[in-house]
């Protein structure tokens, strides 16, 4: 076993923790603010960030900040990552007292935490594509297929879709409890419940991995 990167701040909560290999063959990792919100704005800190690494753990030469793993910053507790067919990255993130976010992620950009949330604006900070307002989604894993972002919601107890072009948000699955992660291919959507994580109400057969034909989703 080999350590690719260490020194990521940690704490009781807000760890981020998603890792995915992007279409550019780089390793992306989400890191939370570890409940020290000020580190999200500090590009010297690895907390409150999306990080981008070569697969051998070295820093890619084309990362936005010189000799730094930091790809984007100002994140509170970033969760899901997904890329569209053009290689554009999207991210889901837990906000503070609701205001959960979906963001379109571009290299070197500042996503605002803890300076702005919801519809607030400040110069050189990027607002989310959409946020949950006073409701909580607690978004987790995310996948992209054919113009839509599919994301799992824990507290929201749903699988949701977000149409990138129209901005329409739809609950496509409810009634399965806390949803942790989602995967989509051309025919099927897969998602996994997480009712046994200590915050849900599991039944005897939890947790479950579900698979549904995309054609059955009956989406608008
Ligand atoms: Ca934000």
| pLDDT tens by residue, 112-164 | 999 999 999 999 999 999 999 999 999 999 999 999 999 999 888 889 999 99
How many independent structural domains does the chain possess?
A: 2
Q: What is the mean pLDDT of residues 23-35?
A: 96
DSSP string, 109-142: -B--TTT--TT---TTBPPPSEE-TTS---EEEE
Instruction: Name the domain boundary from 92, 110, 133.
Output: 133
122 and 32 belong to one structural domain: yes
62 and 17 belong to one structural domain: yes
Is 94 in the active site? no
63 and 100 belong to one structural domain: yes
**Structural domain range at position 66:** 1-133
| pLDDT tens by residue, 156-215 | 888 999 999 999 999 998 988 999 999 999 899 999 999 988 888 898 889 999 999 998
Q: Please give all residues whose CB falls under 5 A of ion ligand 1, grouped by chain where several chains appear.
A: 111-112
Q: Among the options 14, 15, 94, 131, which is catalytic?
A: 14
72 and 169 belong to one structural domain: no
Confidence band of 13 (pLDDT split at 50, 70, 90): confident
121 and 31 belong to one structural domain: yes
Please tell me the distance between residue 142's alpha carbon and the centre of ligand 1 in angstroms: 17
Residue 120's φ and ψ, nearest 5 degrees, are -65, 155
Please tell me the distance between residue 8's alpha carbon and the centre of ligand 1 in angstroms: 20
| pLDDT tens by residue, 66-93 | 999 999 999 999 999 999 999 999 999 9
121 and 147 belong to one structural domain: no
Q: What is the CATH number of the domain that holds 5?
A: 2.120.10.30
């Amino acid at each position: 076993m080999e350590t690719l990167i260490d020194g990521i701040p940690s704490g009781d909560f807000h760890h981020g923790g998603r890792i995915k290999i992007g279409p550019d063959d780089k390793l992306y990792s989400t890191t939370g603010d570890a409940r020290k919100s000020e580190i999200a704005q500090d590009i010297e800190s690895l907390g409150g960030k999306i990080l981008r690494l070569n697969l051998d753990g070295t820093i890619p030469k084309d990362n936005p900040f010189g000799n730094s793993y930091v790809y984007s910053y100002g994140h509170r507790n970033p969760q899901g990552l997904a890329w569209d067919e053009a290689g554009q990255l999207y991210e889901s993130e837990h906000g503070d007292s609701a205001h959960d976010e979906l963001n379109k992620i571009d290299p070197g950009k500042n996503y605002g935490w803890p300076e702005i949330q919801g519809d607030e604006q400040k110069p050189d900070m990027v607002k989310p594509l959409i946020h949950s307002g006073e409701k909580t989604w607690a978004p987790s894993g995310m996948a992209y297929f054919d113009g839509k972002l599919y994301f799992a919601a824990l507290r929201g107890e749903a699988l949701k879709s977000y149409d990138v072009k129209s901005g329409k948000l739809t609950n496509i699955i409810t009634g399965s409890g806390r949803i942790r992660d989602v995967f989509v291919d051309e025919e099927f959507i897969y998602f996994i419940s997480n009712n046994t994580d200590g915050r849900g109400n599991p039944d005897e057969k939890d947790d479950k991995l579900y698979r549904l034909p995309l054609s059955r989703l009956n989406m608008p």
